């Protein structure tokens, strides 16, 4: 007879659905670094999720042991925003006697799902999924995942607690600051619309400009992945006759690439063009001119994520969403506009 006698899926059900032996299925689910072909691992993890199989199902009748560990998934660490977030998570985890297991998704859904499966196999107590894009399966509910999870950053959500920064308000406030300096011609540098944080910052910019009831110019350059893309696009814009006097970049990385391009093109920052970013990377205060930016509370978001997980593990109710605010940091890359 196939399946488990209790009606819940067994390791044999997972093995059959994945087309592998019971031994292979068991080892893949029990040991994240078990040497097996990528396709085989994905089939086992997919079958496990589809069947609702909990790793270590042979001990399902026993109370689940607490491991004092959490799984953390971030897209990348080369981005200082996520590096700061991970530092906040790690500090809070240490304060609570928790071990942090880290996995990088690269912004890839399949890699993220594999990481979640491996964390489940290691029986972590909870998971933090950090992203700013559609980096989470929309249809998966907290009950289906089976362990506490918190989302950090705006993501598709089927009922998980989420911690975000109010990016639309941040874009609104940044534009209000630049408008107060006399700027009326704006350029926004961003990545792709799939990145909710960046899109909402740009929407906040347009919200403010439209709220003034006055004449303005606003252009958006999309599809820029970081410093190099930003540099090339602003270099080309300068050759074509850049008219904007205020450049608002969706991240400090985009802003720094833009400053380099403007400087190389003979455009003075901030005399000719004011430049402002988002995030407040640790290096942004040390470039010249030092970068004016909206300080995003990445580390605090990470610390709060751990706090929410700890509350959930203790059986406490947590708010469905926690929304933090950015803070404007004025430095040398912006100034009052005195031109025509």
- Specify whether the CB–CB gap between 87 and 299 falls below 8 A: yes
171 backbone dihedrals φ, ψ, rounded to 5°: -65, -40
**Sheet containing strand 69-74, strands side by side:** 99-104, 69-74, 126-130, 149-152, 162-165, 321-324
pLDDT reported for residue 222: 96
- Specify whether the CB–CB gap between 121 and 91 falls below 8 A: no
Side-chain half-sphere of 113: how many Cα atoms within 13 Å?
A: 19
pLDDT reported for residue 336: 97
Structural Rg of the chain based on CA atoms = 24
Concatenate the DSSP letters of all residues of 58-76 into one string.
GGTTSPPPP--EEEEEES-
Q: Is the pTM of this model over 0.85?
A: no
pLDDT reported for residue 7: 58
Beta bridge partners of 73: 103, 129
Side-chain half-sphere of 336: how many Cα atoms within 13 Å?
A: 2
Exposed, middle or buried: residue 336 (CB in 10 Å: 0-12, 13-18, 19+)?
exposed
- Identify the three-state secondary structure at position 197: helix
Per-residue pLDDT 10s for the chain (340 aa) are: 334 444 567 778 888 999 988 768 877 876 666 678 888 888 988 988 888 886 553 344 334 468 899 999 999 898 889 999 999 999 999 999 999 999 998 878 788 888 888 898 888 999 999 987 665 566 667 887 889 999 999 887 778 999 999 999 999 999 999 999 999 999 999 998 888 899 999 999 999 999 999 999 999 999 998 899 999 999 999 999 999 999 999 999 999 999 999 999 999 999 999 999 999 998 999 999 999 999 999 999 999 999 999 999 999 999 999 999 999 999 999 999 976 5
To which H or E segment does residue 316 belong?
A: none
pLDDT reported for residue 334: 98
Beta bridge partners of 323: 164
Q: Which domains does the chain have, with CATH numbers?
A: 1-65 (1.10.260.40), 167-294 (3.40.50.2300)
pLDDT reported for residue 110: 80
CA dist., res. 270 & res. 273, Å (int):
5
Whether the ω angle into residue 289 lies within 30 degrees of 0, i.e. cis, is yes
Parallel, antiparallel, or unpaired: how do β-strands 274-279 and 327-329 relate?
unpaired
Tokens of 87: 């530092």
CA angle 113, 114, 119 (to 5 degrees): 95
Tokens of 145: 């995942």
Q: How far lies 301's CA from each of 70, 92, 151, 325, 326, in Å?
A: 16, 11, 10, 11, 11
pLDDT reported for residue 323: 96
pLDDT reported for residue 2: 38
Which residues in 306-334 are b (16+ Cβ under 10 Å) and which e?
A: bbbbbbbbeeeebeeebebebeebebebb
Parallel, antiparallel, or unpaired: how do β-strands 292-295 and 327-329 relate?
antiparallel
Start-to-end C-alpha separation, the chain: 83
CA dist., res. 36 & res. 139, Å (int):
29
- Identify the three-state secondary structure at position 226: coil
CA dist., res. 10 & res. 18, Å (int):
13
CA dist., res. 85 & res. 117, Å (int):
22
């Amino acid at each position: 007879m196939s399946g488990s006698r209790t009606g819940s899926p067994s390791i044999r059900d997972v093995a059959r659905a994945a087309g592998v032996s019971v031994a292979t299925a068991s080892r893949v689910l029990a040991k994240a670094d078990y040497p097996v072909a990528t396709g085989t691992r994905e089939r086992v993890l997919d079958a496990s999720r589809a069947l609702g199989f909990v790793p270590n199902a042979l001990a399902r009748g026993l109370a689940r042991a607490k491991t004092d560990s959490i799984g953390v998934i971030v897209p990348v660490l080369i981005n200082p925003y996520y590096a700061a977030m991970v530092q906040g998570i790690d500090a809070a985890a240490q304060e609570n006697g928790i071990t942090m297991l880290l996995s990088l998704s690269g912004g890839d859904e399949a890699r993220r799902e594999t990481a979640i499966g491996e964390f489940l196999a290691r029986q972590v107590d909870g998971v933090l999924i950090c992203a700013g894009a559609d980096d989470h399966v929309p249809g998966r509910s907290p009950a289906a995942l089976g362990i506490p999870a918190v989302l950090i950053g705006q993501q598709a959500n089927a009922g998980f607690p989420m911690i975000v920064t109010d990016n639309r308000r941040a874009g609104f406030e940044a534009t209000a600051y630049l408008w107060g300096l006399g700027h009326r011609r704006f350029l926004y540098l961003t990545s792709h619309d799939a990145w909710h944080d960046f899109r909402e910052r740009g929407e906040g910019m347009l919200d403010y400009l439209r709220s003034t009831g006055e004449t303005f110019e606003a252009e958006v350059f999309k599809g820029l992945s970081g410093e190099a893309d930003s540099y090339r696009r602003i270099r080309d814009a300068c050759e074509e006759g850049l008219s904007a006097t205020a450049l608002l970049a969706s991240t400090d990385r985009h802003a720094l690439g833009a400053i380099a391009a403007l400087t190389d093109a003979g455009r003075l920052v901030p005399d000719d063009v004011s430049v402002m970013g988002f995030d407040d990377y640790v290096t942004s205060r040390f470039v010249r001119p030092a970068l004016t930016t909206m300080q995003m509370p990445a580390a605090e978001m990470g610390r709060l994520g751990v706090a929410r997980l700890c509350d959930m593990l203790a059986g406490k109710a947590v708010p469905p969403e926690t929304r933090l605010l950015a803070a404007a940091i004025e430095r040398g890359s912006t100034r009052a506009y005195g031109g025509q």
